[in-house]
Amino acid sequence: MAKTPQQRRLPISQAMTELGAAGESSRYGLDRDEFLPELRGSRGMRKYREMGDNDPVIGALLYAIQMMLRAVPFRPEAADDSDEAKELAEFTEDVFDHMDHSWDDFLSRALSFIQYGFSYFECVYKRRPDGFVGVRKLASRPQSTLHSWAYDDANELIGMVQSVPGSSKTVTIPLAKSLHFRTTTQTDSPSGRSALRSAYRAYYMATNIENIEAIAIERELNGLPLVRMPAEYMVADSGPMKTFRDEMTRIARDVKQGEQSYLAIPSDYYPNEDGSLSNNRMVEFELIASQGSRAIDTDVPIKRYRQDMARTVLADFIMLGQSDKGSFALSKSKADLFLRALEGHAEMIAGVLNRQLMPRLWALNGFNPDLMPTIVPGAVAPADLTELGDYIKALASSGYTILDEETETVLREAADLPTDGMGSDPDMMGMGVPDETAEGGQ
């Protein structure tokens, strides 16, 4: 009986060889997945910066994301309960506390991957006073300085080629001494995917409508300037006629009402066949009024597009108060979804630190890898104490008594209560929940 393709055994060499490739072409060291030319490479970096700096909704969203994630604590969690593991966790925390820059500065720069799709850092180490190797700084390499991505013969990413600012030189920063944050690895693109990518069309449409609206206001919603002049003025290539035509064109282009607005044109009339003057002036200026009879409220599409921008980063709940629609329950569920997304970003940052920075730091110091701590992010938003209290009441009513110190620690931290000396008084255990089995219980 012939074997099926699933039953045939592959040679071990073929089983261990990668044949395909993730993503699209990385020819010339640049990612080619983006189908809009204006969003590729350095042009895309400039466009995403423009979106963040110019649009109030996108700017507010990026600011909110930055501030909320910069407030998240990142702490090293010991590998086990041994004293040595706890000492190494304290060592890791001390390394981060004694960099040339603050942890907040690093986190602020790292979070730029949300706007641009990726962020890249060069790890610079130092010898500590205790003789161990620490981190001197995590030096940001701005997205605007990206020249290309460096690949090896197997098409594996090996580093970032940076254009040295103020010079025509380039330098390759190897991935082996870097931190590489990116929003997604869907196509294995080193450039990631900007969180603003899906908002680009809404930004483009809203910006164009605002520009048209501003032009209409400047024209006082009256229409288009019209200048009439003799035909020989229109075709003149040089001389006074061309000079006059160019000046009238400039006036028509720049005309608007203001304190010092005026317009001066010749008052000559066309002559009749007998030499007398007609009633038709040689040069005339007027405004052609719009013939449209339907008023268009430009505020409606602008609000729609701005809501689309917020929706792309799951933050459309901030637009709920701008109309008479929407409920508190709806806003809360949308806000919870947004916070979940932020937790995902925090977990991604911790994951990069755990996979890229910590193993290198451990190898440089020759520490036991089994005792390497894990960087763990804290909560993005404080716990809802009302909901937590209701949950504890439900547990108490079911007869469950909270007695373990670890659970009490979590509850105290959630309520921002002190944990020092906790557990010293046995009567205080249980968070005040009565134990029916205890002596004197009801």
Dump the DSSP string for 90-140.
HHHHHHHHTSSS-HHHHHHHHTTHHHHSEEEEEEEEEE-TTSSEEEEEEEE
Comparison of pLDDT for 150 and 309, the residue scoring more: 150
- What pLDDT score does 159 carry? 93
Chain position carrying tokens 């969690």: 77
Pick from 17-26, 127-136, 174-183: least confident: 17-26
- What pLDDT score does 284 carry? 76
Comparison of pLDDT for 277 and 97, the residue scoring more: 97
Of 190, 174, 176, nearest to 29 by C-alpha is 190
- Verdict on whether the full-model pTM lies above 0.95: no
Most confident range (mean pLDDT) of 25-39, 106-120, 252-266 is: 106-120
Q: Which helix (H) or strand (E) holds 48?
A: helix 41-54
**pLDDT bucket at 336, cuts 50 / 70 / 90:** confident
Q: Which residues of 393-407 are buried (b: 16+ CB within 10 A; e: fewer)?
A: eeebeeeebbeeeee
Pick from 107-111, 266-270, 321-325, 359-363: least confident: 321-325
**pLDDT bucket at 128, cuts 50 / 70 / 90:** very high
Evaluate whether 248 touches 283 at the Cβ level (below 8 Å). Answer: yes
Question: Which pLDDT tens digit goes with each residue over 369-415?
Answer: 999 999 999 888 766 667 777 777 777 777 776 666 777 776 776 66
Pick from 80-84, 140-144, 291-295: least confident: 291-295
Q: Residue 209 carries which side chain, given as an amino acid letter?
A: I
326: pLDDT strictly greater than 80: no
438: pLDDT strictly greater than 50: no
Q: Residue 183 carries which side chain, given as an amino acid letter?
A: T
Evaluate whether 352 touches 342 at the Cβ level (below 8 Å). Answer: no
Comparison of pLDDT for 142 and 40, the residue scoring more: 142
347: pLDDT strictly greater than 60: yes
Which residues, including other chains, have CB under 8 Å from residue 225's CB and lie 6 or more apart?
252, 253, 255, 285, 286, 287, 288
* Rounded average pLDDT over 168-173: 92
Chain position carrying tokens 């249980």: 430
Pick from 68-77, 203-212, 433-442: least confident: 433-442
Evaluate whether 160 touches 143 at the Cβ level (below 8 Å). Answer: no
* Rounded average pLDDT over 196-201: 89
Comparison of pLDDT for 409 and 304, the residue scoring more: 304
- What pLDDT score does 142 carry? 92
Evaluate whether 160 touches 149 at the Cβ level (below 8 Å). Answer: yes
